[in-house]
């Protein structure tokens, strides 16, 4: 958070800092403007177009798409599902991710980089393939059911695949490294002497953890949670591969509008809604926590 | 707020980290209410000793006793020991009040009394009314005082200080030195202080323990350690000394005649060490050697002829390197008008009582 109010950098003692800074930023800003801001504006404009027929739309300025979004409960249900799945996945990631993060941060094992490598290893396999792999774990003939059936604990396969649980499982699988990395970064930054100090003052190791380590790692936990929440709320691949017909999230609605119904104006409207929802969450987070912790884990 | 002073005893305490022997069989006794300093270069095992007393490291061997009771097996949080870290280790997310009151929380001190004791501790370190500040809003010196307040408010049996002054700038360091000593006297608390700064050690301690490579080289009052070094390491580490090889020529009960090199002889007090060997190591402090163009009357002092080879002008004093025969002696002399110049012929006066012979030759 201190980084956000960093000292102005002086370039060779000259006072023309802003112009120099702008020059250096220009390539990035121009790229962002043409590849992000302009396309988003186009999508926003598109949300007012009129849908005529599959794949056909007409330039217009009308609120039909927006009215449909605000009045149709189908969309609101999807928002609710999206939040429920994203929050569940985030909370589970936070709880489950804290343990390896704490372990990596506090271990005296000399080759920490190996543990970090293990954490990053999954990124070497495509996200889609990793998601598909759950079919072989959770399916009716999958690893879990096959094992349980063969040792006779169950007579019939348990339905695990194509449920909301499977979607959440797949998301956790993909989000966990982000969470672990963020928590690790904040744990790593805590002075070890603080816990020692708490111990000498009379705290047990659990009390020292609760009073010192946990509160000081909250920024990392919050940053990881934000990242996990935004990434999971925005996905459409995981529910499409692992979810049942009723387990659609907001991203799936957008995908369907654009790719199946070829209703671009509606797809554009829903995209705007998604952007506003997730954008607001990031802004609220920024007001409370500041975003600088999020950048730390990418350094 | 007189803390219950505790006597501490370390018996043949050792600590190894893998193949590194950080502390080697150190014996140490801290009298109740005394101020003892571990002095030694970085890496000699000072912090490790403190951490073992606090319980943050487990000794590989030996016993630690507080008030006569063995505490090796007592967990850290039950030891009642105050530790001030080199970097203060204040809890950055807690206010000054919560920092200082932290230890009281685990001692079932009622809220009202806790508030009173925190206020008292802040008074003691001369930072009253700072309760609501955050550590980040304090200067280095203030953080240091808060760390001290946090350690003493629990009325520990022993106060451990790990180079608490080293992070402060020079002026503040001297001021805190005086103040720390005053607080220690006021609380009459048994204190084990760690430093690599000899001035600090000599100025503050009742007992100085000079350490080298995990071993205790010498323990004693500051004057004794300074004037009667027990080993070459101590002589070299404290102040400027001349460490010389000498041959015993003749000895009677009072003085011993020593030959330093061809034709350069000095008389040493026979009480200043063992002269049983033919070959001994002689220590003479640089400031104990007199330097002048002429000395009158000798009454047993040795007068050596020398030539100034090098001068290090320090203002009030000067450090000379004087060639005497094929020896090079360090001499610190006060300056009258102007220092001796390079190449100038001088006479050095060495008194028998300033010649200390090391225990083992
Ligand atoms: N946790 C540790 N693991 C391995 N070696 C250590 C550890 N702590 C200290 N040492 C080693 O023990 C020796 C003494 O260290 P320390 O007590 O910190 O010295 P000092 O405080 O006198 O500078 C050093 O060689 C140091 O490298
Ligand atoms: Mg140290």
Q: Which residues of A fall within a CB distance of 8 Å from B56? A: 196, 199-200
- Give the distance (Å) from ligand 1 centre to CA of residue B78: 24
Higher per-residue confidence, B298 vs B9: B9
Residue whose structure tokens are 């009073």 = A211
Choosing from B207, B232, B257, the residue where a domain stops is B232
Choosing from B199, B215, B232, the residue where a domain stops is B232
Query: Are residues B245 and B186 part of one domain?
Result: no
How confident is residue B1, by pLDDT bands cut at 50, 70 and 90?
very low
- Asked if residue B293 has its Cβ within 6 Å of ligand 1, the reply is no
- Give the distance (Å) from ligand 2 centre to CA of residue B45: 7
Choosing from B195, B210, B232, the residue where a domain stops is B232
User: From the first residue on, what is the mean pLDDT of each consecutive set of 10 residues in chain A (299 residues)?
Assistant: 42 61 93 96 96 91 95 94 96 97 92 89 90 94 93 92 95 94 95 96 97 95 95 94 92 94 95 96 90 70
Query: Are residues B274 and B195 part of one domain?
Result: no
- Asked if residue B20 has its Cβ within 6 Å of ligand 1, the reply is yes
Residue B12 lies inside a defined structural domain of this protein: yes
Query: Are residues B84 and B223 part of one domain?
Result: yes
> What pLDDT sits at residue A8?
47
> What pLDDT sits at residue A4?
42
pLDDT tens string B205-241: 999 999 999 999 999 999 999 998 999 999 999 989 9
- Strands B158-162 and B81-84, by their bridges, are parallel
Query: Are residues B47 and B172 part of one domain?
Result: yes
Residue A125 lies inside a defined structural domain of this protein: yes
Q: Which residues of B fall within a CB distance of 8 Å from A202? A: 77-78, 80, 103, 105-107, 154
Contact across the interface for A193 and B76, Cβ inside 8 Å: no
- Strands B327-334 and B317-324, by their bridges, are antiparallel
Q: What is the count of structural domains for chain A?
A: 1
* Ligand 1 nearest-atom number relative to CA B211: 22
Residue B2 lies inside a defined structural domain of this protein: no
Residue A46 lies inside a defined structural domain of this protein: no
Residue B148 lies inside a defined structural domain of this protein: yes
> What pLDDT sits at residue A198?
97
Query: Are residues B287 and B185 part of one domain?
Result: no
* pLDDT, chain B, mean: 91
Residue B101 lies inside a defined structural domain of this protein: yes
> What pLDDT sits at residue B335?
83
pLDDT tens string B301-354: 889 999 999 998 888 889 999 999 889 999 998 887 788 889 999 999 999 989
Residue A42 lies inside a defined structural domain of this protein: no
Query: Are residues B276 and B347 part of one domain?
Result: yes
Query: Are residues B314 and B277 part of one domain?
Result: yes
Q: Which of A191, A202, A212 lies at the smallest CB-CB distance from B103?
A: A202
Q: Whose CA is nearest to atom 26 of ligand 1?
A: B43
Query: Are residues B50 and B33 part of one domain?
Result: yes
Query: Are residues B304 and B213 part of one domain?
Result: no
Residue B3 lies inside a defined structural domain of this protein: no
The three-class DSSP label of residue B83 is strand
Residue A1 lies inside a defined structural domain of this protein: no
CATH number at residue B148: 3.40.50.300
Full domain range(s) for residue A220: 74-249+278-296
- Give the distance (Å) from ligand 1 centre to CA of residue B22: 6
Query: Are residues B339 and B302 part of one domain?
Result: yes
Residue A219 lies inside a defined structural domain of this protein: yes
Residue B189 lies inside a defined structural domain of this protein: yes
Query: Are residues B173 and B287 part of one domain?
Result: no
Mean per-residue pLDDT, B81-103: 96
Contact across the interface for A200 and B92, Cβ inside 8 Å: no
pLDDT tens string B250-268: 888 788 888 888 888 888 8
Measure B106 CA to nearest chain A CA, in Å: 6
Mean per-residue pLDDT, B30-56: 96
Residue B181 lies inside a defined structural domain of this protein: yes
> What pLDDT sits at residue A1?
36
- Asked if residue B42 has its Cβ within 6 Å of ligand 1, the reply is yes
Q: What is the count of structural domains for chain B?
A: 2
Query: Are residues B256 and B131 part of one domain?
Result: no
CATH number at residue A165: 1.10.3720.10
Q: Whose CA is nearest to atom 7 of ligand 1?
A: B17
Tokens for A158? 């348990």
Full domain range(s) for residue B311: 241-357
Contact across the interface for A200 and B106, Cβ inside 8 Å: no
Q: Which residues of A fall within a CB distance of 8 Å from B80? A: 202
Q: How far apart are the first and last CA of chain A?
A: 15
> What pLDDT sits at residue B3?
43
> What pLDDT sits at residue B361?
40
Burial (0-12, 13-18, 19+ Cβ within 10 Å), B82: buried
> What pLDDT sits at residue A15?
52
Contact across the interface for B89 and A212, Cβ inside 8 Å: no
How confident is residue B279, by pLDDT bands cut at 50, 70 and 90?
confident
Residue A53 lies inside a defined structural domain of this protein: no
Contact across the interface for B87 and A199, Cβ inside 8 Å: no
Using CA atoms, how far residue A147 sits from A135, A142, A150, B70, in Å, is 15, 8, 5, 55
Return the number of CB contacts < 8 Å for A and B: 60
Closest CA to B323 of B310, B341, B314: B310
Contact across the interface for B76 and A198, Cβ inside 8 Å: no
> What pLDDT sits at residue B297?
67
> What pLDDT sits at residue B319?
92
> What pLDDT sits at residue B235?
92
Give the best residue of A110, A201, A213, A215 to mutate against chain B (max B CB count within 10 A): A201
Q: Which of A197, A202, A207 lies at the smallest CB-CB distance from B85?
A: A197
């Amino acid at each position: 958070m201190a980084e956000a109010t960093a000292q102005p950098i002086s370039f060779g003692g000259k006072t023309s800092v802003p112009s120099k800074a702008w020059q250096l930023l220009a390539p990035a800003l121009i790229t962002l403007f043409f590849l992000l801001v302009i396309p988003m504006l186009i999508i926003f404009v598109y949300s007012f177009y009129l849908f005529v027929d599959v794949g056909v739309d007409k330039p217009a300025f009308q609120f039909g798409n927006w009215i449909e979004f605000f009045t149709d409960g189908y969309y609101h249900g999807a928002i609710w599902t999206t939040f429920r799945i994203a929050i569940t996945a985030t909370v589970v990631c936070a709880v489950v991710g804290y343990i390896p993060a704490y372990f990596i941060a506090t271990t005296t094992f000399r080759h920490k980089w190996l543990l970090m490598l293990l954490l990053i290893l999954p990124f070497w396999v495509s996200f889609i393939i990793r998601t598909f792999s759950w079919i072989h774990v959770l399916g009716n003939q999958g690893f879990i059911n096959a094992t349980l059936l063969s040792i006779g604990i169950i007579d019939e396969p348990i339905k695990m695949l194509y449920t909301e649980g499977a979607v959440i499982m797949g998301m956790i699988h993909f989000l966990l490294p982000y969470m672990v990395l963020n928590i690790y970064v904040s744990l790593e930054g805590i002075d070890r002497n603080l816990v020692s100090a708490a111990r000498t003052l009379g705290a047990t190791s659990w009390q020292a953890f609760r009073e010192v380590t946990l509160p000081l790692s909250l920024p990392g936990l919050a940053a990881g949670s934000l990242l996990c929440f935004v990434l999971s709320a925005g996905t459409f691949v995981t529910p499409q591969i692992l979810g049942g017909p009723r387990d659609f999230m907001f991203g799936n609605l957008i995908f369907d509008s654009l790719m199946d119904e070829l209703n671009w104006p509606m797809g554009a409207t829903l995209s705007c809604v998604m952007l506003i929802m997730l954008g607001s969450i990031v802004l609220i987070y920024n007001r409370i926590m500041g975003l600088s912790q999020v950048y730390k884990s990418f350094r | 707020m007189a803390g219950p002073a505790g006597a501490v005893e370390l018996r043949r305490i050792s600590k190894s980290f893998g193949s590194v022997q950080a502390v080697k069989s150190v014996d140490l006794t801290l009298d109740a209410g005394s101020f003892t300093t571990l002095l030694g270069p970085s890496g000699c095992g000072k912090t490790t000793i403190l951490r073992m007393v606090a319980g943050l490291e487990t000794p590989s061997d030996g016993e630690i006793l507080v008030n006569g009771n063995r505490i090796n097996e007592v967990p850290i949080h039950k030891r009642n020991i105050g530790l001030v870290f080199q970097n203060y280790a204040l809890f950055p997310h807690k206010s000054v009040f919560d920092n200082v009151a932290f230890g009281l929380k685990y001692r079932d001190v009622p809220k009202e009394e806790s508030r009173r004791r925190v206020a008292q501790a802040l008074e003691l370190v001369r930072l009253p009314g700072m309760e609501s500040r955050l550590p980040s809003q304090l200067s280095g010196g203030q953080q240091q005082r808060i760390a001290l307040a946090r350690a003493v408010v629990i009325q520990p049996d022993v106060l451990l200080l790990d180079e608490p002054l080293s992070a402060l700038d020079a002026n503040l360091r001297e001021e805190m030195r005086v103040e720390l000593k005053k607080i220690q006297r006021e609380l009459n608390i048994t204190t084990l202080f760690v430093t690599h700064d000899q001035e600090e050690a000599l100025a503050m301690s009742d007992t100085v323990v000079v350490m080298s490579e995990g071993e205790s080289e010498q323990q004693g009052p500051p004057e004794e350690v300074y004037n009667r070094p027990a080993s070459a390491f101590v002589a070299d580490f404290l102040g400027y000394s001349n460490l010389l090889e000498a041959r015993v020529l003749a000895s009677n009960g009072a003085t011993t005649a020593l030959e330093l090199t061809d034709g350069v002889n000095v008389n040493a007090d026979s009480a200043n060490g063992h002269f049983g060997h033919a070959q001994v190591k002689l220590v003479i402090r640089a400031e104990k050697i007199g330097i002048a163009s002429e000395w009158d009357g000798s009454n047993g002092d040795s007068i050596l002829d020398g030539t100034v080879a090098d001068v290090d002008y320090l203002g009030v004093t000067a450090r000379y390197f004087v060639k005497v025969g094929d020896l090079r002696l360090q001499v610190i002399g006060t300056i009258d008008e102007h220092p001796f110049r390079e190449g100038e012929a001088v006479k050095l006066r060495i008194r028998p009582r300033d010649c200390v012979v090391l225990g083992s030759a």
